[in-house]
């Protein structure tokens, strides 16, 4: 897990669906330093504002939330696939945090074609800069986002909602 390698020795609390629902997290207010949802928001069966607010509620003041999601990607996943968010939409969802640290997107038109053709990165893209798949994997065209993200910091003055 990436987080474990970046922050060795950290305590990690998993909140896997269906045992935990993002719309009603079973954790105390102001409990965590970080909250990460990776490719989760598109599957929220309910109000995405409520899911984001729950992530804010459980963060300590000054805590960081990272939310990633797919944008232009085939319908997928269990149990359903409901939503798509641009970076601006993620910023809107996270406005109550107090600070948007960054938001963005990655993708390009070639990735769409490769996905359609069924050959999208079956393995990690080659590291050689000359290789066409490396070029495709590192190219970013803002008009063709595949994934989007936002990093938000909870206002330090906040103690409760």
Q: What is the pLDDT of residues 65-95, one digit of tens each?
A: 999 999 988 888 877 999 999 999 999 999 9
How far, in Å, CA of 55 to CA of 66, rounded? 10
Cβ–Cβ under 8 Å, residues 133 and 85: no
pLDDT digits (tens, 9 = 90+) for 103-118: 999 999 998 888 777 7
Compute mean pLDDT per 10 residues along the chain, 161 residues long, and list them: 72 86 96 94 96 98 96 84 96 97 95 78 80 89 93 82 49
How far, in Å, CA of 99 to CA of 62, rounded? 10
Phi-psi bin for 153: left (phi > 0), alpha (psi -120 to 50), beta? beta
Cβ–Cβ under 8 Å, residues 36 and 7: no
Output the pTM of the full model.
0.88
């Amino acid at each position: 897990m990436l987080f474990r390698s970046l922050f060795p020795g950290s305590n990690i609390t998993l909140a896997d669906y269906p045992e935990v629902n993002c719309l009603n997290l079973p954790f105390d207010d102001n409990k965590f330093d970080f909250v990460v949802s990776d490719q989760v928001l598109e599957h929220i069966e309910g109000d995405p504002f409520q899911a984001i607010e729950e992530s804010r509620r459980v963060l300590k003041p000054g805590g960081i939330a990272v939310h990633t999601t797919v944008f232009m990607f085939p319908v997928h996943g269990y149990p359903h696939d409901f939503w798509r968010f641009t970076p601006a939409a993620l910023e809107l969802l996270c406005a109550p945090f107090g600070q948007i640290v960054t938001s963005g997107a990655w993708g390009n038109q070639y990735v769409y074609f490769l996905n359609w053709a069924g050959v999208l990165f079956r393995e990690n893209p080659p590291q050689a800069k000359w290789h066409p798949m490396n070029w495709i994997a590192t190219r970013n065209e803002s008009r063709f986002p595949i994934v989007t993200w936002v990093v938000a910091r909870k206002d330090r003055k906040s103690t409760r909602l």
